[in-house]
DNA sequence: TAAAATTATCTGTTGAAACGACTATTGTCT
DNA sequence: AGACAATAGTCGTTTCAACAGATAATTTTA
């Protein structure tokens, strides 16, 4: 986590109003929150959280190969420090299966079940429609631009492809 | 909440891969989550949540005029269905004050206290530095572009200013 | 090979979010 | 005025997230 001291930004460079940077953050927050709320309505109809959906999605990608809990955790978008209990809930609903690996009994491997795949499939269309509603009015060019800017925000080194 | 039936998007229009729209959403999510995590570290040093910071910030803007709980709630970025207890916590720390309005005894008005203002002031610099770290490498043009795209995403009607 | 360190996951606890139901106050309609 | 509805905020409960510490299995080190 790179840290620059605040002193690197001397007072006379401080904008009088909230900085453009803060504005960008607030817009990002607001926008994310709007879209997430709409998504959650869709997910809610299937009694699932976006976190859970994300986990299932990742498991589906590699299926039928299992994924260790830690590997799954690392690939999640939002860092989840509580994989265990999230997987508990999915397991109780028989959407995933857990197996302790034999050649290394510390790791627990997770796979998506048929029921889990089916649920994903059911969600796929409404969630796709949701994203269409949210971004459908933007041109392809605007979308790639947005995506590139978001990437550039996260990764200072690699600018637009 | 406008709803289009999924049928409006016939199968042969479905992209083989995840749609650009979904990609945009995931980028937005990822980016927001990254930035938020960094912010929370800063806020954490002051034992405050971003929600609470937001509330204080809004109160500061209108200070010394008080703001009704409902008005505050509506201006919050993330809809908070639990204003009461959030304000409880802020009140316990003497960062805000609550007064029941006399001419309409249903509404409770909130103001930021001197201590609250002081805390905001202490946070201001580190949080500004945080936003600089996060967005400082983007040009002013890129930032306004990003802001405009985010706005356009939320509000289909008004395209870039 | 026994002790120490590391890895991978689990559990306990605490605080906060979500959702509804509830109370109090005011406004409206007859 | 009295009944009914609307508004503003609070409280109760359940569930979830975050952090720390515990447990168990493996690897490293002396």
> Rounded CA gap, A17 and B2, in Å?
36
Cβ pairs bridging A and B (under 8 Å)? 182
pLDDT tens-digit map of A12-22: 443 435 788 98
A47 at the B interface (CB within 8 A)? no
Local confidence band at B160 (pLDDT 50, 70, 90 cut-offs): very low
Local confidence band at B157 (pLDDT 50, 70, 90 cut-offs): low
Q: What is the mean pLDDT of residues B65-70?
A: 94
- Report, in ranges, which bases of strand D sit under 7 Å from a protein C-beta: 7-12, 16-20, 24-27
- Say if residue B11's pLDDT is above 80: no
User: What is the structure's pLDDT at A79?
Assistant: 80
Residue B128 to residue A29, Cβ atoms within 8 A: no
A125 at the B interface (CB within 8 A)? yes
User: What is the structure's pLDDT at A156?
Assistant: 67
B33 at the A interface (CB within 8 A)? yes
- Report, in ranges, which bases of strand C sit under 7 Å from a protein C-beta: 7-12, 16-20, 24-27
Lowest mean pLDDT, pick from A61-65, A97-101, B4-8, B73-77: B4-8
Residue B30 to residue A77, Cβ atoms within 8 A: yes
pLDDT tens-digit map of A55-108: 999 999 998 899 999 999 998 988 888 899 999 999 999 999 999 988 889 999
Largest CA distance in chain A: 63
Alpha-carbon distance values, B141 to A100, B78, B137 (Å): 52, 27, 11
- Say if residue A44's pLDDT is above 70: yes
User: Residue B111: which H helix or E strand, with range?
Assistant: strand B108-112
- Say if residue B16's pLDDT is above 70: no
Residues 6 or more apart whose Cβ sits within 8 Å of residue A54: A76, A77, A78
- Say if residue A6's pLDDT is above 80: no
Q: Which residues of B touch A147 (CB under 8 A)?
A: 20, 23-24, 27
- Asked if the Cβ of residue A83 lies within 7 A of any atom of strand C, the reply is yes
Through-space separation of residue A71 CA and nucleotide D29 C1' in angstroms: 28
User: What is the structure's pLDDT at A157?
Assistant: 65
User: What is the structure's pLDDT at B148?
Assistant: 95
Residue B68's SS3 state is: strand
Through-space separation of residue B47 CA and nucleotide D24 C1' in angstroms: 35
B122 at the A interface (CB within 8 A)? no
- Say if residue A1's pLDDT is above 80: no
Q: How much of chain A exceeds pLDDT 70, in percent?
A: 86
Instruction: Answer with the residue of higher pLDDT: B4 or B20.
Output: B20
pLDDT tens-digit map of B93-113: 999 999 999 989 999 999 999
- Say if residue B17's pLDDT is above 80: no
Local confidence band at A9 (pLDDT 50, 70, 90 cut-offs): very low
- Say if residue B13's pLDDT is above 60: no
User: What is the structure's pLDDT at B110?
Assistant: 96
User: What is the structure's pLDDT at A19?
Assistant: 83
Q: Which residues of B touch A139 (CB under 8 A)?
A: none
């Amino acid at each position: 986590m790179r840290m620059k001291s605040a002193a690197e930004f001397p007072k006379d460079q401080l904008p009088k109003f909230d900085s453009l940077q803060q504005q960008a953050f607030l817009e990002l927050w607001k926008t994310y929150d709007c879209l997430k709320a709409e998504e959650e309505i869709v997910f809610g109809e299937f009694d699932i959280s976006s976190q859970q959906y994300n986990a299932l999605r990742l498991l589906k990608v590699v299926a039928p190969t299992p994924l260790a809990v830690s590997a799954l955790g690392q690939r999640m978008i939002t860092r989840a420090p509580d994989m265990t209990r999230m997987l508990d809930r999915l397991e109780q609903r028989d959407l995933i299966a857990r197996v302790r690996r034999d050649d290394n009994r510390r790791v627990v491997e997770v796979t998506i079940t048929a029921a889990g795949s089916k649920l994903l499939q059911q969600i796929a269309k409404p969630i796709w429609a949701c994203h269409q509603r949210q971004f459908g009015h933007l041109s392809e060019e605007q979308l790639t631009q947005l995506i590139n800017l978001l990437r550039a925000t996260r990764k200072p080194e690699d600018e637009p492809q």
